[in-house]
Amino acid sequence: MTAQQNDEVSILISEIEALDRASCLEQWREAFGCSPPKYLSPQFMKRVLIWETQNRALGGVSVKTTRRLKQIAAGKALPTTAKPGSHLVREWNGRTYQVEVVERGYVMDGKSWRSLSAIAKHITGAHWSGPRFFGVQ
């Protein structure tokens, strides 16, 4: 990004920050081709409009990132991204649990486990989705 482009984006951001609610709605419709959901505050709309301005100026996000964002927005589960060597941490009822991801499963408190769901059940006493419990889904 050149200095001139940077200055232009900075000016656009300043203009967005100064918008009132009606102007935010108008800018949103121009940027996205539809009205925003009714519950959005002007502050949130401004953040999204600023992000969109920066996104357009810098060339956007990758196809992979766009795909993942759409999956998240649709509430679809994402594949587990924890790789061997990763540590997962979860606090439950005032205690912090740390799980290490190993090649063939997981290790917690020196004990090997085949699944995160088994660990989550051990911790909570109830059936949980292990990946969801540890925030890797």
Asked if residue 39 has pLDDT above 60, the reply is yes
Task: Verify that 53 and 97 share a domain, yes or no.
Answer: no
Tell whether 71 is covered by a domain: no
Say how many domains are in the chain: 2
Domain interval for residue 13: 3-60
pLDDT in tens, 44-97: 999 999 999 988 888 888 888 888 777 776 666 555 567 899 999 999 999 999
Q: Are 91 and 101 in contact (CB under 8 A)?
A: no
Q: Are residue 7 and residue 48 in the same domain, yes or no?
A: yes
Closest CA to 46 of 61, 31, 34, 59: 31
Q: Are residues 56 and 103 in the same domain?
A: no
Answer yes or no: is 120 within a domain.
yes
pTM above 0.75, yes or no: no
Question: Among 91, 97, 81, 64, which Cα is nearest to 136's?
Answer: 81
One domain for residues 12 and 56: yes
Q: Are residues 54 and 91 in the same domain?
A: no
Same-domain check for residues 56 and 8: yes
Looking at residue 18, its pLDDT comes to 96
